[in-house]
Amino acid sequence: MKIKVTDREGKKHELEGDTNSTLMEILRDAGLDIEAACGGCCACATCHVYINDQWLDKISSKDDDEESMLDQAFDVRNSSRLSCQINLSEDLDGIELELAPE
């Protein structure tokens, strides 16, 4: 499955995803500049991304924990998600997203 990411400089990356991973793990392991300080337990907000609108309703919705952690992020939008909370699945093949400011 493919993941299309725009980094903070506007450069586009096409990554290979797999359904055993979270979105954060794919971004981090591809060497993109995403801190993911807590390692994926929804305890920081350093894997903040903007999901392209057309993909938003295909992803499971945010829980309270994630909404709370987003309070620590900058420029939170409707399309804001913490990428560690998104489990990849085949329906998300081709998902497009952008890294949020650090």
| Residues forming the site for other proteins (CB under 8 A) | 35, 37-39, 41, 43-46, 67-68, 70-76, 101-102
Least Å distance between CB 68 and other proteins?
4
What are the contacts of 53-61 at 24+ separation with CB within 8 A? 53/79, 54/96, 55/92, 55/95, 55/96, 55/97, 58/91, 58/92, 58/95, 59/86, 59/92, 60/86, 60/87
Cβ distance to other proteins smaller for residue 60 or 72: 72
Q: Which is nearer to other proteins, 54 or 72 (CB)?
A: 72
